[in-house]
Chains A and B, each alone.
Chain A
Amino acid sequence: NAGVTQTPKFQVLKTGQSMTLQCAQDMNHNSMYWYRQDPGMGLRLIYYSASEGTTDKGEVPNGYNVSRLNKREFSLRLESAAPSQTSVYFCASSAASGGQYEQYFGPGTRLTVT
Chain B
Amino acid sequence: AQTVTQSQPEMSVQEAETVTLSCTYDTSENNYYLFWYKQPPSRQMILVIRQEAYKQQNATENRFSVNFQKAAKSFSLKISDSQLGDTAMYFCAFMKPFSNSGNTPLVFGKGTRLSVIA
Name 14 A/B residue pairs within 8 A (Cβ), A-sorted: A30-B102, A31-B98, A42-B108, A42-B109, A43-B91, A48-B105, A50-B99, A50-B103, A88-B43, A96-B103, A101-B33, A102-B47, A103-B106, A105-B45
- On chain B, the number of residues with a Cβ less than 8 Å from chain A's Cβ atoms is 24
Among B33, B35, B50, B103, which residue has its beta carbon within 8 angstroms of that of A31? B103
Using Cβ atoms and an 8 Å threshold, which residues of chain A touch B105? 33, 45, 48, 58
Give CA–CA (A34, B105) in the complex, Å. 9
Known contacts A40-B9, A94-B103; 6 additional CB pairs below 8 A are A40-B110, A43-B91, A51-B102, A54-B101, A101-B98, A107-B44
Closest to B95 in A: A101
B102 touches A42 (CB 8 A): no
Which A23-42 residues have a C-beta within 8 angstroms of B?
Answer: 30-31, 33, 35, 40-42
B111 touches A42 (CB 8 A): yes
B29 to chain A minimum Cβ distance, whole angstroms, is: 14
B103 touches A107 (CB 8 A): no
Question: Known interface pairs A102-B50, A105-B44, A108-B43. Does A41 touch B110 (Cβ–Cβ under 8 Å)?
Answer: yes
Give CA–CA (A93, B107) in the complex, Å. 15
Among A50, A90, A108, which residue has its beta carbon within 8 angstroms of that of B102? A50
A43 touches B102 (CB 8 A): no
B104 within 8 A of A: yes
A30 touches B108 (CB 8 A): no
Using Cβ atoms and an 8 Å threshold, which residues of chain B touch A40? 9, 110
